[in-house]
Amino acid sequence: MEQRTYNQYCATARTLDLIGERWTLLLIRELLTGPKRFGDLQSSLRGLGTGLLSARLKHLEREGLARKVTLPPPARTPAYALTEAGEELGPAVRELARWGMKWALGERREGETFHPGWAVLGLETCFVPEAAAGLRAVYEFRIGDEVFHARVDDGTLEMTHGPAQHPDATITIGEEEFLSIAAGRSSLVQAVEDGAAATSGDGDALRRLADLFRIPRPQSRTGGR
């Protein structure tokens, strides 16, 4: 497959030469949350055919943005991970996500897929470091069938797929209710009161949770100021 180019000696154009093709940036989004097997990527990126997925992964490998790895025991299966250059795209992808929450996301359209694992990147994007000053806690999120956890350490955040060994607080919620909270139509407190979510663990950690993540308020791109 011939690689298209803008043929411009410009850093932005050269970057888009590398990651501007359809699906490429979404592959990077998936790999930013950790190594993924080919099947994991297929599952998360419905609509991306096997042949095109293989081509995009080969492109990322060829350009030094991704590499093949073997997952640690007990999996011991081949997977793909980002290189140092690929990892450094993280801030740009998160800023795109932040912009999208404010200016592009809107209501969920019919037929649009959603994976709770995408919330890992979303929470990283919305994290408020100053609100986490002095806080050391591990939060485990159970959204639908997916589990991930957040380790907060005095203003820093580390998000990881999978359960936490010793979570200080656990949040269990369905996909639709989570999306309602993400869209600003509800809150975790309201969801718990309605029985649509459940929390357990350290009370102070749970009380501070609402302040740790600030979701941008949606704006109309065509409306006036």
Task: Judge whether 110 lies within some domain.
Answer: no
Q: What is the CATH number of the domain that holds 202?
A: 3.30.1050.10
Task: Judge whether 223 lies within some domain.
Answer: no
Residue span of the structural domain in which 190 resides: 116-212
Nearest partner of 31 among 151, 134, 121, 135, judged by Cα? 121
Task: Judge whether 224 lies within some domain.
Answer: no
Task: Judge whether 107 lies within some domain.
Answer: no
**Alpha helix segments (H runs only) across the chain:** 11-19, 24-31, 38-44, 50-62, 84-87, 90-103, 119-126, 175-182, 188-193, 203-212
Please tell me whether residues 138 and 205 are part of one structural domain: yes
Please tell me whether residues 123 and 190 are part of one structural domain: yes
Please tell me whether residues 80 and 152 are part of one structural domain: no
Structure tokens at 72: 């640690």
Q: pLDDT per position in the chain (225 positions), as tens?
A: 567 899 999 999 999 999 999 999 999 999 999 999 999 999 999 899 999 999 999 999 999 999 999 998 888 899 999 999 999 999 999 999 999 989 998 888 999 999 888 989 989 999 999 999 999 999 999 998 899 999 999 999 999 989 999 999 999 999 999 988 887 788 899 999 999 999 999 999 999 998 999 988 888 998 755
Please tell me whether residues 120 and 208 are part of one structural domain: yes
Residues in Cβ contact with 58 at an 8 Å cutoff, skipping those fewer than 6 apart: none
When divided into structural domains, the chain yields a total of 2
